[in-house]
Amino acid sequence: MDLQLKDRTVVVTGASSGVGLATAHYLLAEGAKVAACARDAGRLAAAFDQFAWADKNSIYLASCDVTDRQATDAFVAGTLDSFGTVDGLVCNAGRSLMATLDETTDEQFRDEFDLKIFGVLNMVRSARAALAASAQGSVVNVNAILSRQPELRLAATSAARAGLLNLSHSIADDLAGDGTRVNSVLLGLIDTGQWRRRFENSGSGLDFTDWSAEITKDRGVKLGRFGTAEEVAFHILTLLSPLSGYTTGATIDVGGGVGRYV
């Protein structure tokens, strides 16, 4: 199926690994132009070395701290200088803080909200005019099932994710007048570098497959495994596509059946 993304410009934050990198891969394969950012410019460039098959004129890379509005303004300006348009925005920059309430400092709480809330709000504000000028402006916020189903061991991240889900609906309502759609993908347990690092630090005598199977059983993942970054990226591209032109303010769970809410 042609997703009608060829020659469209899509901004992807947090693109040096995991879901962001997989999304960039699929976009380039669809013939889209990709403006990708991460805080570590060297790591970002190294990650994109694998895309030697893609037209180098279809890729713009830059370092950007999405919690800094001046930085997001500069990144969007660089994207417009390179490609002239912004048709899509994937707000993917994020992390999880594995800590209970008592284990989380006030500063860590503020940092989580700064990244989850302002990391999206800054990018949307910086790109809003360009998205409105596009015939098919679309924003996809990469969020988590934690936003609706909090976990005590992820107390600050759960709260920040809930705030982002609420904010995403407000942004969707606000940007609808511009003709820009805003949707969310809610992740469950996805096999990314973050989980690989947790496995390496776990001291478990199991291999990753068996270790992750125990995690999914504990968390109630019905499909009994971690998801992949590619499985998430598929849904992101679907929501970016003009074929989803009548969908806004929606959420898609990619969690293997972990969601317990109605």
Q: 229, 21 in Cβ contact below 8 A?
A: yes
- 15 pLDDT more than 80: yes
Structure-block tokens of residue 91: 């707000």
pLDDT averaged over every residue in the chain: 96
* Residue from 165, 123, 147 nearest 20 by CA: 123
Quick one: pLDDT band at residue 193, thresholds 50, 70, 90?
A: confident
For the chain, where are the E strands, in sequence order?
A: 9-12, 33-38, 59-63, 88-91, 138-144, 181-187, 190-191, 227-228, 251-254
pLDDT digits (tens, 9 = 90+) for 125-157: 999 999 999 999 999 999 999 999 999 999 999
Q: Is residue 200 part of a domain?
A: yes
CATH of the domain at 103: 3.40.50.720
213 and 93 both lie in a single domain: no
Structure-block tokens of residue 149: 């189903």
Domain holding 107, by residue range, is 9-190+227-254
pLDDT digits (tens, 9 = 90+) for 38-89: 999 999 999 999 999 999 999 999 999 999 999 999 999 999 999 999 999 9
For residue 140, give the 3-state DSSP assignment.
strand
Q: What is the pTM of this model?
A: 0.95
Separation CA 28–CA 54 (nearest Å): 7
Query: What's the pLDDT score for residue 202?
Result: 85
Query: What's the pLDDT score for residue 1?
Result: 86
Give 214-221's long-range contacts (Cβ < 8 A, gap of 24+).
215/189, 216/189, 216/256, 219/188, 219/189, 219/258, 220/258, 220/260, 221/188, 221/189, 221/255, 221/256, 221/257, 221/258
70 and 81 both lie in a single domain: yes
203 and 87 both lie in a single domain: no
138 and 246 both lie in a single domain: yes
- 259 pLDDT more than 80: yes
Q: 27, 6 in Cβ contact below 8 A?
A: no
167 and 201 both lie in a single domain: no
16 and 40 both lie in a single domain: yes
